[in-house]
Amino acid sequence: MRSRPTKTFLVACALAISVTAGAQTYSLEQCRQMAIANNKEMRIKNAKVEQAGYQKKEAFAAYLPSIDFSGGYLYNQKEISVFGSDQYLPVKNFNAKTGTYDFGIVTNPETGLPVKTASGEYVFEQVAYLPKESLTYDIHNVFFGAITLTQPIYMGGKIVAMNKMTGYAEDLAKQLRDAEAENIIYAVDAAYWQVVSLHAKKLLAESYVALLDTLDRNVGLMVEQGVATGSDKLSVDVKLNQANVDLVKVDNGLVLSRMALCQLCGLPVDTPIQVEDESVDHPSPTLQQYSINMNDVYDRRHDVKALELGVKIYDQKARVAASDMLPKLALVGMYSFSNPNMFNGFEKKFSGAFSVGAMLTVPIWHWGGNYNKYRAAKVDRQVQELELEDAKEKIDLQVNQAAFRAQEAVKTYDMTVTNLTKANENLRQATLGFREGVMTTDNVMEAQTAWLKANSEKIDAEIDVHLCDTYLSKVLGLLNY
């Protein structure tokens, strides 16, 4: 009768076969491409690049003249009148004696003196009568508007600085996008090789179960023949049951690792998927040979380029701040109109006129506000430069650590190959000695356990070499995608 762990193992195998049946196989490069195409963070970075492009075009538009229209309606409660009351204006008459125009003043016929009013004003012989109503205008409903053209001529260098800044910002967005792509690739590689590792460990666990199963049957026969004890059989049964449990755990881990890879690639997590390196024999992994020159590394690293662009952006921000302390000159043209219009006595129809001029603004005194703004921008630039220097120091350490770790991974792999060769020989001798009766069951199980450990360590070391090679390429700025 089969033990419960054995039944569990068979159920898990059946489920795994049903899941992987018809599964599509993807290479590492295909997984990378799918991840970059479907990753949400990558889409956000692409959108930011597009946004930066629009901002660059927006900054360039400041070079060109702007045309604006403004209009409105105004209701006034009262009419407007030039005079407060009816007006009487004196009229001059031509004086033939003097040859000039003089006011005709009423004189007293008896005295011949000019006549004055009670308030002391002269009384004129002739006046022009201007009624108040003749200069009263209806402005209850007023419509007005203007079309304005403004052409910047000199803005203190602000427009030039803004155009440079937005150009650097677009390049910065691209560098951040490329850096995110490298992070995605490294995450995909880790998930990909995790699948390969667990698949190899699953095959190893199956082989280990087969070894223990064979040993279990042999020990059972030996118990029947009286050359082995029931204790030996129980020891092997316990080991076999534990191996079956470990096999189920590895199989479950493999299913979960496939889900993680699907999520990174933008596929539904329940998509049946296999990777190309599961079903091929791997040659001994080797590291690519790199000639490490830190100046070249700095030139290739996207994060360093992003910080360098940040320095340039803050430099242009300082120039924008400095522009607030410089004169600004712009050419202005306008066509304004209204109804009623004042060109013909508040005539109730639309009429307008053109006007052209220049506008000059000269900052004189702002209590140091603009200058302190400029100094603050310069400090921002200095901070960015310090961050760049700090990043280069950390990258130097990162590159050296990655190179050392990669070399150690290769050495570890070579040692695991040697250990596996010895473990294979040890298992062969233990199996042969057990058949000849000179080795105990415990000796065989110890040899099998050592063989399992050596194989597992070799798988881990092989995967570690692949990941170290990818990571070293990443920190050197040589990870292609």
Could you read off the pLDDT tens digit of each residue along the chain, which spans 481 residues? 333 333 433 434 444 444 444 679 999 999 999 999 999 999 999 999 999 999 999 999 999 999 999 999 999 888 888 777 887 788 888 777 788 887 777 777 877 778 787 777 877 777 788 888 777 888 889 899 999 999 999 999 999 999 999 999 999 999 999 999 999 999 999 999 999 999 999 999 999 999 999 999 999 988 888 888 888 889 999 999 999 999 999 999 999 999 999 999 999 999 999 999 887 676 677 777 888 899 999 999 999 999 999 999 999 999 999 999 999 999 999 999 998 888 877 788 888 999 999 999 999 999 999 999 999 999 999 999 999 999 999 999 999 999 999 999 999 999 999 999 999 999 999 999 988 888 888 999 999 999 999 999 999 999 999 999 999 999 999 987 6
Q: Is 445 exposed, middle or buried (0-12, 13-18, 19+ CB in 10 A)?
A: buried
Q: Among candidates 4, 405, 440, 72, which has minimal Cα distance to 229?
A: 440
Furthest-apart CA pair in the chain: how many Å? 175
Q: Within 10 A of 201 (CB to CB), how many other CB atoms are there?
A: 23
Does the predicted TM-score (pTM) go above 0.85?
no
Q: Give the pair of three-digit tokens for residue 196.
A: 């390969």
Q: How far apart are CA 478 and CA 481, in angstroms?
A: 10
Contact 114, 44 (CB under 8 A): no
Q: Within 10 A of 168 (CB to CB), how many other CB atoms are there?
A: 21
